[in-house]
């Protein structure tokens, strides 16, 4: 687990690549929710998502240690892969990415444009991850998981920026994929000695962490049924779950229809284009309604990378 000086070192490293992201209190969101709403815009990073922070810390450490590995291999639905490809190019580390068959065309194109060797394999994220782990052995690559200490420390810097820039928050809503974002926020809150309630958010059709949280132990599912690909995970990471169980107050689940409405709300109220996982915290706040009225609430837009076709078919359908 990282210390506050180590987190600040990670922030300085990241700010060598980009100057952080803004956080704004949006008046129309306040009118809509009855809360003072501070939005952390991780959709404004160079890859359009918060994952870049972790990728930079991970790739810099690997390049600095020079342990003789031929490169990095990982599995992703998009944002994690883009972060590794961007960071790998910056630090001279070759990157191979495995994505599920039928993955986002636009995210695939973005990863290739950043220099990643892209492989399509399997029906879902877990199958792609198994393939990536096999490639790591066969080709002497370092497997970069979606949840690891370097990644958590790196992505935690968005919450450090938010907590230090915004007034004291009563609650912070964070989407959960494999858990790096929320675990980083929990650790940062604790290091700063804050009392902010951390609320996890999952898609109702991919709620493995929510079910695990309710049961008190890890529960793996046999499906991840959501259009919000950043949250389409069916097996919790055990270490991430332990940190979430210890540090989050609750986990809210939201439907894909609620997420689509939140994406539209972000556009009308802030003119920001937001992907499904990034909109889920707002969907949860809207669901909570009076519970947060009069409070100061943080939302992280974890990314803005949504395919045009998906935006048309899902978000603009008005369901």
Q: How many CB atoms lie within 10 A of CB 31?
A: 10
Stretch 249-268: mean pLDDT, rounded?
A: 97
Whether residue 4 has pLDDT greater than 70 = yes
Whether residue 68 has pLDDT greater than 80 = no
Tokens at 300, concatenated: 């992280």
Q: Strand 36-41 to strand 23-25: parallel, antiparallel, or no bridges (unpaired)?
A: antiparallel
Stretch 194-203: mean pLDDT, rounded?
A: 98
Listed in sequence order, the residues at least 6 apart from 65 whose beta carbon sits closer than 8 Å to its beta carbon are none
Domains 4-50+149-315 and 51-143 share a fold: yes
Stretch 279-301: mean pLDDT, rounded?
A: 97
Rounded to whole angstroms, the Cα distance separating 183 from 198 reads 10
Whether residue 65 has pLDDT greater than 90 = no
Listed in sequence order, the residues at least 6 apart from 217 whose beta carbon sits closer than 8 Å to its beta carbon are none
Q: List, for residues 270-280, the tens digit of each pLDDT value.
A: 999 999 999 99
- Per the model's pLDDT, the better-predicted residue between 188 and 125 turns out to be 188
Mean of pLDDT over the chain: 95
Tokens at 301, concatenated: 């837009």
Rounded to whole angstroms, the Cα distance separating 48 from 275 reads 10
Stretch 125-140: mean pLDDT, rounded?
A: 92
% of the chain surpassing 90 pLDDT: 86
Tell me what pLDDT residue 317 has. 82
Which bin fits 267, alpha (ψ -120 to 50), beta or left (φ > 0)? alpha
Q: Phi/psi at 257 (nearest 5 deg)?
A: -65, -40
Tell me what pLDDT residue 16 has. 97
Beta strand ranges found along 114-225 (DSSP E): 117-120, 142-143, 171-175, 197-203
pLDDT-derived band at 111 (thresholds 50, 70, 90) equals: very high
* Per-residue b or e along 283-303, where b marks 16 or more CB atoms closer than 10 Å to that residue's CB: bbbbebeeebeebbbbbbbbb
pLDDT-derived band at 78 (thresholds 50, 70, 90) equals: confident
Whether residue 89 has pLDDT greater than 60 = yes
Select from 175, 237, 170, 229 the least CA-distant residue to 200.
175
- Helices 4-14 and 180-192, interaxial angle, to 10°? 120
Whether residue 319 has pLDDT greater than 60 = no
Domain boundaries, the chain: 4-50+149-315, 51-143
Is 4-50+149-315 in CATH node 3.30.70.330? no
Q: Which residues pair with 173 in a beta bridge?
A: 199, 299
Whether residue 296 has pLDDT greater than 70 = yes
Q: Tokens 């600095």 correspond to what residue?
A: 64
Q: How buried is residue 88: exposed, middle or buried, by Cβ count under 10 Å (0-12/13-18/19+)?
A: buried
Q: How many CB atoms lie within 10 A of CB 34?
A: 16
Tell me what pLDDT residue 318 has. 66
Q: List, for residues 145-185, the tens digit of each pLDDT value.
A: 888 899 999 999 999 999 999 999 999 999 999 999 999 99
Whether residue 69 has pLDDT greater than 80 = no
Whether residue 247 has pLDDT greater than 60 = yes
Level-2 CATH architecture, domain 51-143: 3-Layer(aba) Sandwich (3.40)
pTM: 0.94
Q: How many CB atoms lie within 10 A of CB 101?
A: 11
């Amino acid at each position: 687990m990282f210390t506050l000086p180590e987190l600040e070192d990670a922030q300085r490293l990241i700010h060598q690549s980009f100057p952080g992201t803004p956080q704004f209190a949006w008046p129309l969101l306040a009118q809509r929710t009855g809360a003072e709403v501070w939005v952390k815009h991780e959709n404004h990073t160079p890859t359009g998502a918060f994952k870049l922070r972790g990728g930079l810390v991970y790739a810099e450490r690997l390049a600095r240690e020079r342990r003789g590995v031929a490169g990095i291999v990982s599995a992703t639905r998009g944002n994690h892969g883009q972060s590794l490809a961007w960071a790998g190019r910056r630090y001279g580390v070759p990157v191979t990415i495995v994505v599920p068959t039928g993955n986002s065309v636009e995210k695939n194109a973005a990863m290739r444009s950043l220099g990643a060797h892209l492989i399509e394999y399997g029906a879902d994220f877990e199958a792609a991850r198994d393939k990536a782990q096999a490639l790591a052995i066969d080709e002497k690559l370092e497997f970069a998981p979606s949840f690891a200490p370097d990644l958590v420390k790196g992505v935690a810097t968005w919450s450090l920026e938010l907590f230090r820039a915004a007034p004291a928050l009563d609650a912070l809503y964070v989407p959960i994929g494999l858990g790096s974002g929320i675990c980083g926020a929990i650790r940062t809150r604790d290091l700063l000695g804050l009392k902010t309630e951390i609320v996890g958010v999952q898609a109702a059709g991919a709620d493995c962490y929510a079910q695990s949280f309710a049961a008190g132990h890890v529960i793996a599912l046999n499906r991840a049924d959501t259009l919000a690909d950043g949250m389409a995970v069916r097996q919790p990471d055990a270490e991430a779950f332990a940190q979430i169980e210890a540090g989050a107050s609750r986990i809210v689940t939201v439907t894909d229809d609620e997420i689509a409405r939140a994406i539209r709300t972000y556009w009308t109220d802030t003119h920001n284009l937001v992907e499904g996982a990034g909109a889920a915290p707002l969907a949860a706040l809207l669901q909570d309604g009076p519970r947060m009225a009069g409070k100061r609430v943080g939302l992280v837009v974890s990314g803005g990378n949504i395919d045009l076709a998906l935006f048309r078919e899902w978000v603009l359908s008005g369901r």
